[in-house]
Copies of this chain bind each other. A is one copy, B any other.
Amino acid sequence: MKAQPLTYTSTSMQHKPISVLIVDDHPMVIEGLKTLLSDNPRVAVKTHFTNGKDTLEFLEKQIVDVILLDVNLPDINGVEMVKLILNKRATIKILGLSTYSEPSIINQMIKNGVKGYLLKNATADELVNAISQVDQGNFYFGTEVQKILADSVSQESKDIPKLTRRETHILRLIADGKTTNTIAEELFISPLTVETHRRNLMQKMEVSNAASLIKIAVEKKLI
């Protein structure tokens, strides 16, 4: 059942295999991935590298469909790598790989254009599914990764102090870069009142200046 090289089915037909490049500074991981993928005729591991520089050089001349990219390379960090690779070869699908899942890094990598993210404890099935999905141009993020991302998001939008309507309004105006006096004029109230609101806002947001106030407000999409 698994020995048949040519098995066409209606939906998932498998033209030529997906060419994959593995980039990881840990040889053990490389071998592990190769083994896991060797069973599957839909995937062909083309070669591998253990650092960023060699990878980029290789990509000058050759191309692959999908890159399994470890986040922790010795020479160039993962976030930067994604940018450099896509700069060179915009069509390559990059699948981030990491043992741990640090939300900020994952977020940055997504921003830079990775198509998916896998933890290294992924099963063979997950691995193949992920490769196949990103090869088709879709995203793939493992359940655990999603959970971590969701956590970081919910943390972002959690404990947002409830602002009164007036406070929200004034916060928006502050964020627009308007001065206390301008706001006061606009709202037909005393500048001192605006000041008080600003202070209350800062207290509620637990910050000590308007800068942080606005940063938080913008980030939490309060305005």
Task: Tell me whether B208 and A177 are in contact (CB under 8 A).
Answer: yes
Residues of chain B with a CB closer than 8 A to A113's CB: 150
Residues of chain B with a CB closer than 8 A to A129's CB: 11, 136, 138
| In the assembled complex, A105 has its CB within 8 A of some CB on chain B | no
Interface residues of A in 124-154 (CB under 8 A from B): 125, 128-129, 133, 136-143, 146, 150, 153
Taking a contact as CB atoms closer than 8 A, the residue among B111, B140, B174 that contacts A139 in the complex is: B140
| In the assembled complex, A221 has its CB within 8 A of some CB on chain B | yes
Residues of chain B with a CB closer than 8 A to A207's CB: 177
Cβ-closest chain B residue relative to A153: B111
Give the shortest distance, in Å, between A220 (CB) and chain B (any CB). Answer: 10
A215-B212 CB under 8 A given contacts A137-B143, A146-B139: no
Taking a contact as CB atoms closer than 8 A, the residue among B128, B212, B214 that contacts A11 in the complex is: B128
Copies per assembly? 2
| In the assembled complex, A210 has its CB within 8 A of some CB on chain B | yes
Task: Tell me whether B177 and A212 are in contact (CB under 8 A).
Answer: yes
Cβ-closest chain B residue relative to A210: B211
Cβ-closest chain B residue relative to A157: B111
Residues of chain B with a CB closer than 8 A to A209's CB: 177, 179
A139-B139 CB under 8 A given contacts A211-B174, A211-B177, A215-B218: yes
Task: Tell me whether A215 and B177 are in contact (CB under 8 A).
Answer: yes
Residues of chain B with a CB closer than 8 A to A138's CB: 129, 133, 139-143
**Listed A/B pairs (24) with beta-carbon separation below 8 Å:** A11-B125, A11-B128, A111-B221, A129-B138, A133-B133, A133-B138, A137-B143, A137-B146, A138-B140, A139-B141, A174-B211, A175-B211, A175-B212, A176-B211, A176-B212, A177-B209, A179-B209, A210-B210, A211-B211, A211-B214, A214-B214, A214-B218, A215-B218, A218-B218
Can you add 17 more A-B contacts, CB < 8 Å, to A111-B153, A111-B221, A174-B211? A129-B136, A129-B138, A133-B138, A137-B143, A138-B139, A138-B140, A138-B141, A139-B139, A139-B141, A175-B211, A175-B212, A177-B207, A210-B210, A211-B214, A214-B214, A214-B215, A218-B218
